Amino acid sequence: MAQSIKYRFDEVMLRYVKELNLKTTAFGGYNREDVYDKIKLLIADARQVCEDVYEEAVRELQGDAAASGVKLDQAQINNLLENIDELEARVTELEETETGL
């Protein structure tokens, strides 16, 4: 789920950056590459916030699950593993997109 949150966020932000048509004169003469670099840093910072929120939610859920004694059966575990494979493929795709910026 951490990867899902992280890369769903990236997908939206990267689409925004790609579609952004910057005019350097509108930024007081800033270099276009400099502006893109700053946007990439903003994305990295926002991604860290999302990861932190996710980790807090996981800790909270683990505490709730431990308190209630909930255990996953094999079918649930297999389903989660399949989801991880799909997410890893999507992560690779998004990393390639990010590299192309």
The answer to whether position 16 is within a domain reads yes
The answer to whether position 101 is within a domain reads no
For the stretch 36-56, what's the b/e string if a residue is b when 16 or more beta carbons lie within 10 angstroms of its beta carbon? eeebeeebeeebeebeeebee
The answer to whether position 68 is within a domain reads yes
Q: Are 47 and 9 in contact (CB under 8 A)?
A: yes
The answer to whether position 97 is within a domain reads no
Question: What's the whole-model pTM score?
Answer: 0.42
Confidence of residue 2 (pLDDT cuts 50, 70, 90): low
The answer to whether position 15 is within a domain reads yes
Domain span including residue 10 = 2-90
**Alpha-carbon distance 6 to 50, whole Å?**
7
Q: What is the pLDDT of residues 45-68, one digit of tens each?
A: 777 877 777 777 777 767 766 666
The answer to whether position 95 is within a domain reads no
Residue 80 DSSP label = H
For the chain, the domain total comes to 1
Burial class of residue 10 (count of CB atoms within 10 Å of its CB; 0-12, 13-18, 19+):
buried
